Amino acid sequence: MLCLLTPLNQEEVMGKWKKSPQDLIDRFYETLEAFEAAEMRKMFGYPCSFVNGNMFTGLHEENWVLRLPEGAREEITKLGAEPFIPMGRPMKQYVMIPPAIQQDQEALQGWISRSLAFVSSLPKKEPKQKTKKK
């Protein structure tokens, strides 16, 4: 039996996501100001940052998420990062930044720089064409 998530039953299945704390949102925007290449947008109502159409960092509930290549993910995991699993499945290449790194502005900016460099090397993601409703 095929079950599709529609707007009516999606919330029942996934639960309602919590808003990010305002202090985390403020810190996110303040930190990303230093990165000129960062394009700020929201995804699912959360602040995120993109380069060439690809997300490299963002917030989800109380978590700050970062996209990294395998070696860097292994390195940050040893420092307390965990895989990012927003809907029951790990999101490839993304980890949740541990609180100790979030509180250390120099370390945080270093990891964001690494993420930005990695994602900048990926092929540009073209925006999806909007389909007209008939």
Q: Which residues of 97-125 are buried (b: 16+ CB within 10 A; e: fewer)?
A: bbeebbeeeebbeebbebbbebbeeeeee
- pLDDT tens track for 104-126: 999 999 999 999 999 999 989 87
The verdict on pTM exceeding 0.85 is no
Q: What ranges do the domains of the chain cover? A: 18-119
> DSSP alpha helices (H): ranges in 15-122?
22-32, 70-77, 99-102, 105-120
Structure tokens at 73: 């993910």
Q: Give pLDDT, residue 8.
A: 46
Residue 9 confidence class, pLDDT cut points 50, 70, 90:
very low
Mean pLDDT for the stretch of residues 84-107: 94
Tokens of 32: 């990303």
Q: What is the pLDDT of residue 10?
A: 43
CATH 3.30.1460.30 is the classification of domain 18-119: yes
